[in-house]
Structure 1
Amino acid sequence: MKNKLKLLKGAVSGDNRREFLKKAGVLFGGISVASYMTSPVEELIAETTSGVKRSSNPSDLKITDMRYCVLQLAEDGSRNTIIRIDTNQGIYGLGEVRDAADVRYALFLKSRILGENPCNVEMLFKTIKQFGFHGRQGGGVSAVEMALWDLAGKAFGVPCWMLLGGRYRNKVRLYSYIPVHNWANMDEAKFREDVNQRINLQGYTWLKFYPSLETIGHIPGITVNSKYWAEPKFTEITSYNKTKQPFTQLQITDKGLDELARYVDFIRSVVGYEVPLSADGFGNYDINNCISVGRKLFPYRLAWLEDMLSWEMTDQMKVLTEALETPVLTGEDIYLKEEFIKLCDNHVVDIIHPDLHTSGGILETKKIGDYAEEKGIAMAMHCSSTPVGFMASAHCAAATQNFLALEMTTQAVDNAWWHNLVKTTDGRKLVESGYANVSDTAPGLGIELNEDEIKKHLFPGDNSYFAPTSEWNERRSEDHLWSGRFTIGQPTGIVPK
């Protein structure tokens, strides 16, 4: 501003009238010279600095609030929670808690970040990461982390991927699902029509399906010990779904293996061999049966076998991986990079599969992918979210070299309203021909919420919409994980003898 005033002074005192008007036009844009002569200095400053982006002074940003809304995306009562972190400069960041997780995993963290600068993403992440864990318990920390990146991107006016060191791709490959059909009463013509739509009309180049025991469960003689698990159990933790694979003593007969292969053969014959085909949801049976199934399905060249064993059974998982020629994959329930490092160092699996909503957010997941790359292991990404978490995952995928494909659930593919939950801030399509579009320029995640559509899908048990959460403002505990020495120069309270 001082330089501009000096230039103006020179124009008035020595320049001719034409030069003065030319310089005045450069200096003051739309403000006239006459107005300049009569306007108060405050108005002049406001006009001449009108191009400055006042909502993003990153050094002075402070977190002022965290609010949320809970969505129900399916009729089964599932929950997806979007959080919003507000600041003193009017910009906000969006994040998403892991599907089916409790919003309180995120709200508990509010008191730890209030008053902090959201651009200090890594520092804040290190402050709160002790409060996450594997599975859905990682959802709160991960949601806050992705909201901080959204805020940082908006503050600096750049996309999130740019803050991660740049990107390898501007379109992120997606994998979607084979349309659900009843194998017991298959309408083959309709199935072929649906698969054709998924591949040729919707443009998906990678598909996934469920070759589970439930799929062939109508056929007698396929398993041993299945009737026991069909009966109600004393507690939920002893039910089939909550019992880990080695402890069910469920076995698959030769007939069961043949029927499973017949089902997969049909799926592959319709999909063809050009499209990668991944498999998930096998069932809870031990490593011996996993090996039998994996070997039986090898001729169909599946892209991966997902979560056949619980991820923490690393010794057994490694045996499974070494016994099979089809890639073995796991990771959607793992929190933070440390457990992924163990998987990669020991080559326990062929492909890792983090869910950014559990693994710790955008940067932590990129670190996981980068480490896996050094060990020669590829990364696919699990995702069952609203477009908020989906775009956070897409930015991470765009910035990670060894990335394969990002999940897009059936409800996201087949329901137009899912896409309408947000608006892209640069007008691009969220998804196009089986790929997620990652903006070149839109700051942060590049999306904003579509309030009208969001309100149509609020969870019945909590239909508030970003209501105040002041009850979570107060911090009530000391969070350090280790005890240090007394501060130098401060009284210890210990009375010497």
Structure 2
Amino acid sequence: MRITAAETLVSSPGRNFVTLRVTTDDGLTGLGDATLNGRELAVESYLREHLVPLLIGRDAHAIEDTWQYLYRGAYWRRGPVTMAAIAAVDTALWDIKAKAAGMPLYQLLGGASRTGALAYGHASGRDLPELFDSIRAHLDAGYRALRVQSGIPGLDTVYGVASSPAAPGDRYDYEPARRTGDAHPRPTVEVWDTRAYLRHMPRVFEAVRNEFGPELPLLHDGHHRMTPVQAARLGRDLEPYDLFWLEDATPGEDQSALRLIREHTVTPLAIGEVFNSVHDYTTLLHERLIDYVRSAVTHAGGVTGMRRLLDHAAVYGIRSGLHGPTDISPVGMAAALHLDLAVHNFGIQEYMRHSTETMEVFRTSYTFTKGALHPGDGPGLGVEYDDEAAAAFPYTPAYLPVNRLADGSVHDW
């Protein structure tokens, strides 16, 4: 079965997505997600100009060989653009292989290890009453685990907090990539104060626990904004509230920084949504400095790359917590769900509901029932791309915000 065509599809149904569609001489098609939020066209160009010409005529079944050919053959390895492009090719080929076998992808990955993947939603509020309303709305919508983000007194905008309250499924999950309509927009600027954040968040979790009890799994994202010492302090201060995890407490480039955090808190740690290779995790896994890996199938080399990473993590008792915001397309989400169902060391799956417009373009078979996701039992990934619907949503330039401290210096966003 040979590849006869590969197309890069760019659309913006509520936000920008880059999709690769591969077609074989048997008439089968496979989809891969190549979305890199705020840098979408860099990956689209990499695919269209550099990888697509290499795919034509290749054996669609030779997934591992194709992965190595694109990874090792380019000489310039890793990096978010390269790995997102490889991920799109890899995921599309797995979609084709599963369709050719007449099976859902998870069956080719060893079959189901569980009946569904526990998912967590994103509850947020500018103050405690608004946060409590958001938590209740998510619980009513069926979620059984929640990430909690709160406004900080004195700060106008805070990462992870929706600009206005809304119900789950009604665009409640904020989209940080701002689309101004300008041909060449610039990132918006947000102001940050770490000390105010460190003072406020323990009070937030104390209030949430007092209101909703000890059983509800609660997660929190620090979004790389703390030094190791600050992160250690927050982890220790949050210990009485029994978090499921503290995510991205400090920038992950220096893996040794997690040693200091680990020495001072027993709050579980998750990191890795900006990582794109198993090599980014080596120290973290070998020294058991984290409890959950947070990469996305879309950014970490596809199904093949993510399976390799999760198998490596399993040796050290470290579980999955795959990245699943709305800048991962439904194709990337479906691929994650097939892995979630198959791997033994599954932990939890992030789940932000896509907009109605997005779901018009991407026709999916995955379901959310009683707090758990399932990819469906149809052949392949279970996602189809609607070209006619996509044509109504052309690419729109957008940037993630830039973060600055009160003195004007650039901080981690």
Report the TM-score, using the length of structure 2 for normalisation.
0.78
How far is 1:251 from its partner?
A: 5.8
TM-superposed deviation, 1:417: 4.0
Q: CA deviation at 1:240?
A: 9.4
Quickly say closer, same or farther: Cα 1:318–1:194, change in 2 above 3 A.
same
> Is residue 164 of structure 1 aligned with residue 109 of structure 2?
yes
Q: Provide the C-alpha distance between the structure 2 equivalents of 1:274 and 1:450, rounded to a whole number of angstroms.
A: 41
1:63-142 mapped onto 2 (5 Å cutoff): 63-74=3-14, 78-100=15-37, 101=40, 102=42, 103-107=44-48, 108-130=50-72, 133-142=78-87
C-alpha distance 451-433 of structure 1, shift in aligned 2 (>3 A): farther
User: 1:81, 1:274 → 2: CA distance?
Assistant: 39
Give the 3 Å change call, closer, same or farther, for CA 457–174 of structure 1 in structure 2: farther
- 1:176–1:207 Cα contact (<8 Å) kept: yes
Closer, same or farther: CA 137–323 of 1 in aligned 2, 3 Å: farther
Which protein, 1 or 2, shows the higher relative CO under an 8 Å CA cutoff with sep ≥ 6?
2
Deviations 1:234-285 (A, max 9, x none): xxxxx999xxxxxx9x762xx7644332223233344432221111135533
**1:348 and 2:348 correspond:** no
Q: Give unmatched runs, 5+ long, in structure 2.
A: 157-187, 399-413
Change (3 A) 1:439 1:146: same
- 2:386 matches 1:450: yes
The equivalent position to 1:436 in structure 2, one of 373, 382, 400, is: 373
Instruction: Provide the rounded CA distance (Å) in 2 between the counterparts of 1:381 and 1:459.
Output: 26
**What's the counterpart of residue 145 of structure 2?**
206
> Which of the numbers 77, 86, 90 marks the counterpart of 1:145?
90
Question: Per the alignment, in what secondary structure is the counterpart of residue 403 of structure 1?
Answer: coil
Say which structure is richer in strand: 2
Q: Is the 8 A contact 2:132 2:208 kept in 1?
A: no
Partner AA of 1:396 in structure 2? L
Cα gap change, 1:304 to 1:159, in 2 (>3 Å): same
Deviation per CA, 1:32-56: give whole Å up to 9, x if none. Answer: xxxxxxxxxxxxxxxxxxxxxxxxx
Query: More helix by proportion, 1 or 2?
Result: 1
Give 1:393 deviation, angstroms: 0.8
> Which of structures 1 and 2 has the bigger CA Rg?
1
Rounded Cα–Cα distance in structure 1 between residues aligned with 2:194 and 2:375? 45
Does 2:137 align with 1:197? yes
Sequence identity of aligned pairs in percent?
A: 24
Distance 2:111 2:224 in 1: 40
Query: Per the alignment, do residues 128 and 263 of structure 1 end up closer, same or farther by CA in structure 2, a change over 3 Å counting?
Result: same
Match of 1:381 in 2: 322
Q: Give yes or no for contact 1:68–1:84 (8 Å, CA) kept in 2.
A: yes
DSSP 3-state at the match of 2:275: coil
Aligned counterpart for 2:220 among listed residues 279, 284, 300:
279
* RMSD (CA atoms): 2.7
- Per the alignment, residue 306 of structure 2 pairs with 365
Alignment of 1:417-432 (within 5 A): 417-424=357-364, 430-432=367-369
Residue by residue over 1:347-366, the C-alpha shift from the partner in whole angstroms, topping out at 9 and shown as x without a partner, is 12122212111111112212
